[in-house]
Amino acid sequence: MSETGSALRRLHQILTAMHRIRSEIDRGPRLVRVKKKLATEKAAQIDELKGKLTDARKFADQKQLQLRSNEDKILALKGKLNEASSNREFDAVKSQMEADQMANSVLEDEILETLERVDLLGESISRVEGEKQEAEEEVKKFEAEVKAKQGDLESELAQLALELTEAEKIIPDKLRVDYRRLIETHGATSLAPVENKACTTCSTMVSPQIAIDLNVGKFVFCRSCGRLLYNPES
């Protein structure tokens, strides 16, 4: 392996490592935001369930008022039934009583169903509140882990930046503008090893002359994808 190939391989390794660390540094806060969003969604779900619970209780109260009103009407009709002066009046009052009693039966079923729904909503609220608390605790724990890890990653990145400055000295002055442009465009994938006589980024075959140039330590850019090529093999 030429000295240039070895140096470019090391440069590529540093760029790849820095990319990996930067990605990991960015990934931590993103995951924190995802976990915070989950906790926020749980809070919104609780508010929605509480709204439904309030509506269900109001509905049950309204039906209970209707039931009491109908019961008072039935009680009054019982008095009229006893005071009926004719069969026709008796039958009319009795029919009204039966209608009110049937309406009360429907109301009682509605009240029972609503109260069951109230219980289920209460259980759901308790469950989601527990999930919200777990999510918030997970956020705090994960934030602390990310914060502790970020310091180590930043230190490692700073060390690699120093190594990068040293490794980039292999780039000739006449190629530095092209190299910087390449780095700004492709980052860690700006360099590509040649394997099986082809660029590993775009799979373009290298000519015999380029293979010779690489072996003797010349700087060669892929004619297809523009990556800075190097020979990783002796």
Angle, CA 177 vertex, CA 173 and CA 183 arms, to 5°: 115
* pLDDT at residue 77, as a whole number: 83
Angle, CA 91 vertex, CA 107 and CA 68 arms, to 5°: 25
- Asked whether the CA dihedral 77, 79, 80, 84 is positive or negative, the reply is positive
* pLDDT at residue 234, as a whole number: 45
* pLDDT at residue 82, as a whole number: 78
Q: Which CATH architecture has domain 10-169?
A: Orthogonal Bundle (1.10)
Domain boundaries, the chain: 10-169, 171-234
Q: What value does the mean pLDDT of the chain take? A: 92
Single-letter code of the amino acid located at 163: E
Q: Which two structure tokens, joined as six digits, stand for 9?
A: 């391989």
* pLDDT at residue 139, as a whole number: 93
Residue position matching structure tokens 């369930």: 49
7 with 233: CB under 8 angstroms? no
* pLDDT at residue 1, as a whole number: 52
Residues of the chain under the 70 pLDDT cut: 1, 234
Single-letter code of the amino acid located at 12: H
